Amino acid sequence: MSRTRTVALPKDLYQRAFVESFKKLDPRVMMKNPVMFVVEIGFFITLLLTFVPNLFGGASDPFYNGVVSLILFVTILFANFAEALAEGRGKAQAESLKKTKQDTQAKKVGKDGRVQVVSSTELRKGDLVIVEAGELIPSDGEIVEGVASVDESAITGESAPVIKEAGGDFSSVTGGTRVVSDRIRVRVTTDPGESFLDRMISLVEGAKRQKTPNEIALNTLLVSLTLIFLIVCTTLLPIANYVHAAIPVATLIALLVCLIPTTIGGLLSAIGIAGMDRVTQFNVIAMSGKAVEASGDINTIILDKTGTITHGNRMAAEFVTVGNTKSTELNRVAAQSSVHDETPEGRSVVELAKKQGLAPAELELPGSEGVEFRAETRMSGTNLANGVIIRKGAVDAIKKYVAEQGGNIPADLDEKANRIATAGGTPLAVVEGNTILGLIYLKDTVKPGMRERFEELRRMGIRTVMCTGDNPLTAATIAREAGVDDFVAEAKPEDKIALIRKEQAAGKLVAMTGDGTNDAPALAQADVGLAMNTGTVAAKEAANMVDLDSDPTKIIEVVAIGKQLLMTRGALTTFSIANDVAKYFAIIPAMFMLAIPQMSALNIMGLATPQSAILSALIFNAIIIPILIPLAMKGVKYTPMSATKLLSRNLVIYGLGGIIVPFVGIKLIDLILSGLNLI
């Protein structure tokens, strides 16, 4: 199961965020958020009017100007507080990671082979270091010699050590992790400041987060709306003078602030930072906010079969005889073919033979020699001391081997092998000398709940494709059992790239998972590439996300988080714009009621006085920001459904709700103000 990284928030986080809120009042910082920058300018103008009431000619109420100025100041602080709080959470995570990063001593191997102890900060890409049991790995690298058990809990939070070895897909090691046993030689793959841990720290620090394309587009829309309403409010002054309706400058500023999308403007940065933070809490490091957003728009997910959809440990489930072979004879030879095979698969063959009554003495083979599996031959086995050769392997490989040895192929071999493949298993043929005795039925079971998870993705409108090196019969059975939409059998690395490009050519966004060097091209080609932390450096560099738990199925959760981010931003934008409708009915009638009594017909909320109406709308505009901060940080709850249903639901909740809530809120504030006789 996937695990969420939970970082305890410091008790003084809110206090620090409050202090940061004041620091962000610097106009040079505020300019990065044009909507709130306009509010800040309005604050300075109303503050001047408080002390110089006739600054722009005509008389104005200093007390009223001061109240407007105070509310605007609080509005800016609330918006800054939302962003500072989101950044503070990221910085808290960064601090916990910085504790992991420390200057360690490294045993560097010189060109002459001599070992020299140096600081880890002196290591450069290409250097060789030796790390022994109990020592910290000084920098990111790849094991070039040896096998070791490595404690990665400092990075992943997982207490169980993992086995790392030279060659293959489990050779990558991360600086700051500890070797628990044995001794390894590591080639450094990064320069100081460029390690995986360094990148993690910089990525989780919200202050260094770059805005995503969608966020930039929304920000452009907000700026455009702000400019439009600024022009509208500016032209209201000459219009009011023409109809002999005196409108105080503070009231015009209050109208502008209420009309521009201040709610989403104040929360936009917090939503993006919190979205990245949620991915990090899920133990996934996103290399950019763009990757998180892209995951929310994914149309197709490409998944490997072994270890992702299935458990990955193929176990012997049955021995199937062919020809005239007796079951006891097949049991013996199958077990003897696996005596030297220390893989889970090999051990399961021996265990099954024992369960079926094989005598322990049959497994004592003095002088025998084990033959490891090789990709070229696709066979493994045992050479007995008496010269007898025993092999097990892929059916077609064994058939070719037997033909070369002058043996015969049993008539029922293919039929029984196909039956095993059709059932979702993998058939291994067993041969002694040049005689095929039968088949080992290896079964790899689908992980529990996978069908339900793929059904969930289907409801999201996402197509799932299983890629596997298995034969088409086995692939079809597993695909049917797991419930994926499509599958590609006997897939090679280039087939995965071709599939991704085909989907992208059709205008779809594609996600995939991988851990090996051969997966790197496909991970780079995919719109969202999730690499396993246990995988190779090439895979992690090619991907735009890294899963610290190395759980390939986590791509499903990543997609949900991406959709939640997009939903949260869309929902709060809808709510913010819908808010303005209620504010129109509060402020506009209040501005003109004295000069144009007929405008009172629009005062459908029955607000007490023009000043009370304006201040009530302004106060609501300020307090709605902190009320929505928890929603911006946590995100809108995502329920898998079609895009049409999702849009309809959000329009009802956040569109209609965004209209109703301000009517209620403004009226309540007006009742309080009029009841206290403050205005």
pTM for the model stands at: 0.67
Q: According to the annotation, is 83 in a ligand binding site? A: no
| Contact assessment for residue 86 and residue 267, using Cβ atoms and an 8 Å cutoff | no
Domain ranges of the chain: 11-92+204-280+567-676, 286-309+447-548, 315-440
| Contact assessment for residue 195 and residue 161, using Cβ atoms and an 8 Å cutoff | no
pLDDT value for 21 = 92
AA identity, residue 554 = K
What is the rounded distance in angstroms from the CA atom of residue 567 to the CA atom of residue 576? 14
37-41, 254-258, 371-375: the lowest-pLDDT one? 371-375
Given the residues 127, 140, 304, 527, select the one marked as catalytic.
Answer: 304
What is the rounded distance in angstroms from the CA atom of residue 373 to the CA atom of residue 377? 8
Is residue 430 very low, low, confident or very high in pLDDT (cuts 50, 70, 90)?
Answer: very high
DSSP summary character for residue 1 = -
Residue 332 has pLDDT above 90, yes or no: yes
Q: Which two tokens stand for residue 327?
A: 């079951």
53-62, 313-322, 506-515, 609-618: the lowest-pLDDT one? 53-62
* Interval 10-24 mean pLDDT: 83
Is residue 137 very low, low, confident or very high in pLDDT (cuts 50, 70, 90)?
Answer: confident
Q: Which residue has the higher pLDDT, 128 or 606?
A: 128
Residue 284 has pLDDT above 90, yes or no: no
Residue 208 has pLDDT above 60, yes or no: no
Is residue 66 very low, low, confident or very high in pLDDT (cuts 50, 70, 90)?
Answer: very high
Domain at 286-309+447-548: CATH code: 3.40.50.1000
pLDDT value for 253 = 92
DSSP summary character for residue 315 = E
Residue 271 has pLDDT above 70, yes or no: yes
Q: According to the annotation, is 519 in a ligand binding site? A: yes
| Contact assessment for residue 446 and residue 432, using Cβ atoms and an 8 Å cutoff | no
Q: According to the annotation, is 432 in a ligand binding site? A: no
Is residue 331 very low, low, confident or very high in pLDDT (cuts 50, 70, 90)?
Answer: very high
3-state secondary structure of 546: strand
Q: According to the annotation, is 190 in a ligand binding site? A: no
Q: According to the annotation, is 78 in a ligand binding site? A: no
* Interval 184-198 mean pLDDT: 81
Q: According to the annotation, is 343 in a ligand binding site? A: no
Share of the chain above pLDDT 90, in %: 28
Q: According to the annotation, is 290 in a ligand binding site? A: no
Q: Where are the beta strands (DSSP E) in 471-592?
A: 486-488, 510-514, 528-532, 545-547
Q: According to the annotation, is 377 in a ligand binding site? A: yes
Residue 159 has pLDDT above 70, yes or no: no
pLDDT, tens digit, 9 for 90 and up, residues 534-591:
777 778 888 888 887 777 778 888 888 888 888 888 899 999 988 888 887 788 787 7
Q: According to the annotation, is 378 in a ligand binding site? A: yes
Question: Which stretch of DSSP H or E encloses residue 383?
Answer: strand 379-383
pLDDT value for 87 = 77
Residue 375 has pLDDT above 70, yes or no: no
Q: Which residues are within 8 A (CB) of 114 and not within 5 positions of it... i.e. 6 or more apart? A: none
Backbone φ and ψ of 639, nearest 5°: -120, 125
Q: According to the annotation, is 444 in a ligand binding site? A: no
What is the rounded distance in angstroms from the CA atom of residue 396 to the CA atom of residue 428? 9
Of residues 235, 426, 433, the one with CA closest to residue 349: 426
pLDDT value for 561 = 86
Q: According to the annotation, is 380 in a ligand binding site? A: yes
Q: According to the annotation, is 373 in a ligand binding site? A: yes
Is residue 7 very low, low, confident or very high in pLDDT (cuts 50, 70, 90)?
Answer: very low
AA identity, residue 662 = P
pLDDT value for 4 = 44
pLDDT value for 493 = 76
Residue 273 has pLDDT above 50, yes or no: yes
Is residue 293 very low, low, confident or very high in pLDDT (cuts 50, 70, 90)?
Answer: confident
256-265, 330-339, 419-428, 633-642: the lowest-pLDDT one? 633-642
Domain at 315-440: CATH code: 3.40.1110.10
Residue 5 has pLDDT above 50, yes or no: no
pLDDT value for 603 = 76
Q: According to the annotation, is 412 in a ligand binding site? A: no
Secondary structure of 631-655 as H, E, C letters = HHHHCCCCCCCCHHHHHHHHHHHHH
Is residue 354 very low, low, confident or very high in pLDDT (cuts 50, 70, 90)?
Answer: very high
The alpha carbon of 180 is separated from its chain's Cα centroid by a whole number of angstroms, namely 30
102-116, 128-142, 194-208, 296-310: the lowest-pLDDT one? 194-208
pLDDT value for 513 = 84
Is residue 103 very low, low, confident or very high in pLDDT (cuts 50, 70, 90)?
Answer: low
Do 286-309+447-548 and 315-440 fold alike per CATH?
no
- 549 in catalytic set: no
| Contact assessment for residue 557 and residue 282, using Cβ atoms and an 8 Å cutoff | yes
| Contact assessment for residue 29 and residue 269, using Cβ atoms and an 8 Å cutoff | no
Q: Which residues are within 8 A (CB) of 9 and not within 5 positions of it... i.e. 6 or more apart? A: 88, 89, 92
pLDDT value for 449 = 80
Residue 207 has pLDDT above 50, yes or no: no
Residue 491 has pLDDT above 50, yes or no: yes
pLDDT value for 102 = 60
pLDDT value for 649 = 85
Is residue 661 very low, low, confident or very high in pLDDT (cuts 50, 70, 90)?
Answer: very high
